Structure 1
């Protein structure tokens, strides 16, 4: 009787052990399958700079494990068409929705571009004064002021001086991002600069007295 009981208990324990082992193997298989589940997201095909409008040539689709997908990842180009980056992205980095803004929102953000302690002030410029409209947002310029001081023997005497140096351009016309191949060129007649309060007053005063010319700095260092 005792041997039968021991045999019965051994069979029961064997069944329990088999069940637990089978359940453990199934759990491992499910985790392995879950880890290998792939999903497609959009990543940068090149370095993309802040304030650039994204084009199809700048991005590509990439399969990555589903568990590794960052929050707010973009899964198709249609989700971000005609949108602009609010931060730099390096090649291979996922495109994230919170780093994008619609182009229609661009003109609402000029106040957000101004650094603390600075002001935005606009001056009128023609083609010559604006380096043939080649100045772009985020360029650095110097400001030259010239005025007629007197006329002697029908000859005008002009005084010219450099009044401001290394000034950041916030916008040209109403455009606050650098032009791209996708954006048609639009001629402008004003430039908005970022200046301290005193320098802003100085610039306005100079523009009322005479002519303002902008000198463009090189971006190559």
Structure 2
């Protein structure tokens, strides 16, 4: 074998060895797949009218109180939302509005939560529920829970008066107190329809409440008959309707002085009267000590 053949065989062996080493390295470290760029689907949004800060009932709206915020088409499809594409001048139209229901920052604005009024319309008329009346009467810290009653709270109105009647030919008087109206919405204390954020109480001399026409008459009659006071109800009763207990004895004009008959002393509650008529009374009779 000559030198040329030896060199050819040696070169072939080197090539074969290199190929073997390369194949081993490829089997140990497989090639890493290159990531494929995936373009995200574009989400379409629209601008919705929202509150830019927390707002309380009775507050007058300024242009800075409202603004536009991007919402997806699905979220913005809620009925009642104001879209900038359809209502571009909504902020300008609501700048003199009055808040009817409290709103928090970022909450979408609904027409039912804002009363759209012009500068000549009073705030009280805008706050009233359709068909209701605003009625005022005097209060004091002693009759209004020391000032803890605030606008938009719910209260019971109590009437306290002295009733006079005759019993066994003698004139007898009795002080009676009972609720003549329950779950009444407070509209204002004095001339304030909103609460000062830095105060937790509102001392005033006049309370304005929301009542129906017939309940307003009852309140005015109660104011003439005796003393009115308020009891505060909890937040769980915020949605309860106003209720006037029927047949309240303290409102009965026939219980005043000048009655010809000898009526029984009036009970403090109509429920007591109904219970006394419905439940029979047991009577024990004693004869000769038996």
Per-residue deviation, 1:161: 1.2
With over 3 angstroms needed to count, the CA separation of the structure-2 counterparts of 1:105 and 1:93, relative to structure 1, is farther
8 Å CA contact 2:135–2:210 kept in 1: the answer is yes
More strand per residue: 1 or 2?
1
Matched, 1:211 2:232: no
| Aligned residue among 187, 191, 200 for 1:174 | 191
Matched, 1:141 2:155: yes
Per-residue CA deviations over 1:163-201 (Å, capped at 9, x if unaligned) read 1111111221112x3313268976311111111222211
Larger Cα Rg: Structure 1 or Structure 2?
2
| Aligned residue among 67, 82, 106 for 1:92 | 106
8 Å CA contact 1:86–1:101 kept in 2: the answer is no
CA distance in 2, matches of 1:191, 1:169: 7
CA RMSD of aligned residues (A): 4.8
8 Å CA contact 2:128–2:210 kept in 1: the answer is yes
| Aligned residue among 126, 145, 155 for 2:140 | 126
- Normalising by structure 1, we get a TM-score of 0.55
With over 3 angstroms needed to count, the CA separation of the structure-2 counterparts of 1:137 and 1:118, relative to structure 1, is same
5+ unaligned residues in a row in structure 1: which ranges?
Answer: 1-41, 75-79
With over 3 angstroms needed to count, the CA separation of the structure-2 counterparts of 1:190 and 1:50, relative to structure 1, is closer
5+ unaligned residues in a row in structure 2: which ranges?
Answer: 1-48, 72-83, 166-171, 238-290
Aligned to 2:75: none
